[in-house]
A and B are shown apart, each in its own frame.
Chain A
């Protein structure tokens, strides 16, 4: 947890401050292409002669921001839909869950590519689309999780008591269910956030994510893979950054889960 959050803080600082201290611009051609590590260019230069170090540190913002925002939206949307569906039950629940299951049964990446293809070429590469894709992929999974919590909670007497008072669905979900689901949803958020960079990176790598000249890491790996033999560092640098980000997010999620788990034990 400590290591994870420490790393995450570093990532955050880098992503926010990078534009001020990065030695070069992201789209600036500064030197001969495909140079290895050197003092001038710690991570070398890419196929177009851009400084990889500058691009990696600036890319942190794209990846971090995209991952966190899209996961957050997915968890919020999925959580609310799941809780309502689980509480209301009946045909609505049945319908939603069958649809979600159908969506979940499609492999992650295939579904993401499908959605991007459906959105049309003019929108491809926009951040909004990427966020939308992550939400589409993750929200049903979160919703199912939230629903299972809600189904367990609705039979509890305090929810019955609220029903007996004649509380509205909105008020029951907000006051009675949500506070009891936050722990699980937070953990869900952490775990999902750990996978999102991989998804976004994969999309970038395949050319369906961010558009050039964006310094998104997945895209960068893809662009530079031709230079892998000449200067390995230009591929390894964004790849390792991505790996470390995923590890940091997962460590945080684990720590969070353990912390909340301990709390749950203490308050039976």
Chain B
């Protein structure tokens, strides 16, 4: 008996000049107590489908056909009053962004209580208050009564998400709908939320519908997975089976696109092109991007076929799809980058201290500077990729901006090609500005919306090389080709491009200056997995062609592993481990590196990690009060020495060093790696 039965759900959106199909004949069931994952790229219709589970229809949309039966009742035909009795009480939503989902001027306790109150549950006032505290404890928030009196802004993002989960659980619903609940969170916080959800499920028996683009998270928490493409469910099956032996080329491509922290090598670039809603063929909607597609795929729509019990796929050619480990024609296998031992540093950073909040106005008194980056030392060799990883607030971007000259360091030395460059862009010479280029995280913000692509890419060429007219146009064309974009894009505006294309334009702009060092600040995090994989490929090949060195900033340890030569792990503005990729991703680990690595959800069933002790920690930004910044969070803390004395750098090799009080041998014996199978 199913709890929720979605049958032939078809939803259209009004686009201004006609109805566009967003969800097409989607059918699936969620059983009581089950955890079902819905995955797909942006625009695949997964959020719309999830909304239908709460009887929600976006304004300007229509349900053309189908039903969503919740315990036998069709939610799509219920009257608003009846629907309100179901929503929150029997089916509850955990939204994506807790910061906007919580009312800023209402105490946490009151918000949770409100969830009970609107459904007239919880009994008397004192009973309700007790229940609120119980819920806050249930989501593992510290000191329930104190937390209940706090306001949302006094909590961190992870804690806020716990509050929204508590609110959703308030009326003991039968199903929780989670829409990308961990997308804005750090890996470690994400791991804690996922852990919490797994425990809550065990405790309360609530069913979960989990919507996400993160396959790793799905592999961690879901029993069954549905893969959506262009509004259709293309594959569905038990999580283990689906990830082990995906049958749909799209699923296969998605899985292959995700880099792994455990195994650096993978099949790549399986997903060509992009989802273009305007050009869907009458047959299989994935056909234009598929290497296995033939005439039948384009002409006839495949139906879901059972491959093995519980595993269904909508593809004409599922029998021909090779296992993940084999490469199909048209695919190539990418080996991990080899370590470069160039001689001499291109960029050298010595004991760098950076601070924000220097008094700007005349009237403000000068305060003791708070260091955002403290005592950071590393170097980058020509043609090498050096990555900085860490949680948000660890100072990664600050370092990139300081190197780029947007911030003036408080202290320390930055050398580039042997020259000291520790000053802002305005006082650097043109040649230097040309040689260091920055690519930003979000291409929506880094491209001027009122300039055409040609202008955006052409401007550095004009400025640094003084080209004009035909020469300029030819150069722009070549740059666009370099980043695998069609030269016709010159005439377009940024909003006419997709996210991945925009990021390519941003890269082309940096490339236009022919830099020797490119600062890549989270350049992949705003992109879909499959797009990420292609941009990653692009960065790699550009490095080979042009010999550019990258300072790669990321919070994604798997991406870092697949691209970098050397890695620095940053915590609260201080480096705690530096080494080559192979060294950093193998024992001995700094306790923080270990924590980060274990927090990364792994999709490969063979590489699934053992359950790890997850301490309820919250990311702290800014400088630490203790001598070792990690001391108050460290699961293997030695003792008071960690609070008082700065830890020493311990070198394991000429290239690898860990900054910790614990001797290397002990760190090695404590390491949990490779992650054991559950």
Interface residues of A (CB under 8 A from B): 90-91, 94, 156-158, 160-161, 163-167, 175-176, 179-180, 182, 267-268
Q: For window 503-531 of chain B, which residues contact chain A by CB distance below 8 Å?
A: 509, 513
Q: Is the beta-carbon distance between B440 and A161 smaller than 8 angstroms?
A: yes
Q: Would A180 and B425 be within 8 Å (CB), given that A160-B406, A165-B459 are in contact?
A: no
A179-B450 in contact (CB<8A): yes
Chain A residue, CB-CB nearest to B406: A160
Taking CB atoms, residues of chain A closer than 8 Å to B73 are none
**Which A residues touch B428, using CB under 8 A?**
166
Query: A179 contacts B460, CB within 8 Å?
Result: no
Q: Are B438 and A161 in contact (CB under 8 A)?
A: yes
Closest A residue to B509 using CB positions: A161
Per a CB cutoff under 8 Å, which of A158, A163, A176 touches B406?
Answer: A163
**Is B463 in contact with chain A by the CB < 8 A criterion?**
yes
Q: Which of B255-263, B408-416, B441-449 contacts A (4 or more CB under 8 A)?
A: B441-449
Across the A-B interface, the 6 shortest Cβ-Cβ residue pairs: A179-B450, A157-B446, A157-B440, A267-B495, A158-B448, A157-B445
Indicate if the CB atoms of A160 and B440 lie closer than 8 Å. Answer: yes
Q: Which residues of A contact B464 (CB under 8 A)?
A: 165
Chain A residues closer than 8 Å to B362, beta-carbon distance: 91, 94
The residues of B that contact A268 with a CB separation of less than 8 Å are 444, 495
State how many angstroms separate the Cβ of B622 from the closest Cβ of chain A.
Answer: 20
Contacts of B463 in A (CB 8 A): 165-167
Interface string of B405-433 (1 = CB under 8 A from A): 11000000000000000000110101001
Q: Is the CB of B433 within 8 A of A179?
A: no
Distance, CA A131 to CA B459, complexed state (A): 38
B359 contact set on A, CB distance < 8 A: none
* Contacts A/B (CB < 8 Å), 19 sampled: A91-B362, A157-B441, A157-B442, A158-B446, A163-B425, A164-B405, A164-B433, A165-B433, A165-B459, A165-B513, A166-B425, A166-B426, A166-B428, A175-B448, A176-B448, A180-B448, A180-B450, A182-B450, A268-B444
- Give the chain A neighbours of B433 by CB distance below 8 A: 164-166
What residues of chain B lie closer than 8 Å to A161, measured between beta carbons?
438, 440, 446, 509
B406 close to A156 (CB less than 8 A) = no
A179 contacts which of B444, B448, B509 (Cβ < 8 Å)? B448
Given contacts A164-B404, A164-B425, 18 further A-B contacts (CB under 8 A): A90-B360, A157-B445, A160-B406, A161-B438, A161-B440, A164-B433, A165-B460, A165-B513, A166-B430, A175-B451, A176-B448, A179-B451, A180-B448, A180-B449, A180-B450, A267-B449, A267-B495, A268-B444
Q: Does B18 sit at the interface, judged by CB under 8 A?
A: no
The residue of chain B having its C-beta at the shortest distance from the C-beta of A155 within the complex is B445
CA distance in complex: A179, B464 (Å) = 23
Instruction: Return the chain B residue nearest A89 by Cβ.
Output: B360
**Count of A-B contacts with CB under 8 A?**
62
How far apart are B404's CB and chain A's nearest CB, in angstroms?
6
Report the interface size for chain B: residues with CB under 8 A from the other chain. 32
Instruction: Determine the chain A residues whose CB is within 8 A of the CB of B493 once the complex forms.
Output: 267
Nearest CB of B to A195, in Å? 28
Against A, the Cβ 8 Å flags (1 = close, 0 = not) of B454-478 are 0000011001100000000000000
Residues of A within 8 A of B513 (CB): 165
Chain B 580-608: CB-based contact to A (< 8 A → 1; otherwise 0): 00000000000000000000000000000
Closest A residue, CB atoms, query B439: A161
What chain A residues lie within 8 Å of B430 (beta carbons)? 166
The answer for the CA separation of A44 and B448 in the assembled complex, in Å, is 58
Please report the C-alpha to C-alpha distance between residue A166 and residue B509 in the assembled complex, in whole angstroms. 14
Contact across chains for A164 and B406 when beta carbons are under 8 A apart: yes
Which residues of chain B are within 8 angstroms of A176 by Cβ–Cβ distance? Answer: 448
Who on chain A is nearest to B459 by CB? A165
Chain A residues closer than 8 Å to B361, beta-carbon distance = 94
CA distance A176 to B449 in the complex (A): 9
Query: Is B67 engaged at the interface, CB distance under 8 Å to the other chain?
Result: no
Whether A156 contacts B360 in the complex (CB less than 8 A), given A165-B460, A166-B433, comes out as: no
Contacts of A180 in B (CB 8 A): 448-450
A94 proximity list for chain B (CB < 8 A)? 361-362
Indicate whether B437 reaches chain A with its CB closer than 8 angstroms.
yes
* Nearest CB in chain A: distance from B428 CB, A: 7
State A182–B450 Cα separation when bound (angstroms).
10
Contact check, B438 vs A164: say whether CB atoms are below 8 A apart: yes
Distance of A91 Cα from B362 Cα, bound (Å): 8
CA distance A264 to B596 in the complex (A): 41
Give A267 to B448 CA distance when docked, in angstroms. 12
Residue of B nearest to A178 (CB): B450
How many angstroms from the CA of A164 to the CA of B464 in the assembled complex?
12
A94, B495: Cα distance in complex, Å: 35
- Expressed in whole angstroms, the Cα–Cα distance for A182 and B446 within the complex equals 19
Residues of A close to B442: CB separation below 8 A = 157
Once the chains are docked, how many angstroms separate the CA of A166 from the CA of B404?
11
B460 touches A156 (CB 8 A): no
A165→B425 CA distance, assembly (Å): 8
Contacts of A179 in B (CB 8 A): 448, 450-451
CB distance from A65 to the nearest CB of B (A): 31
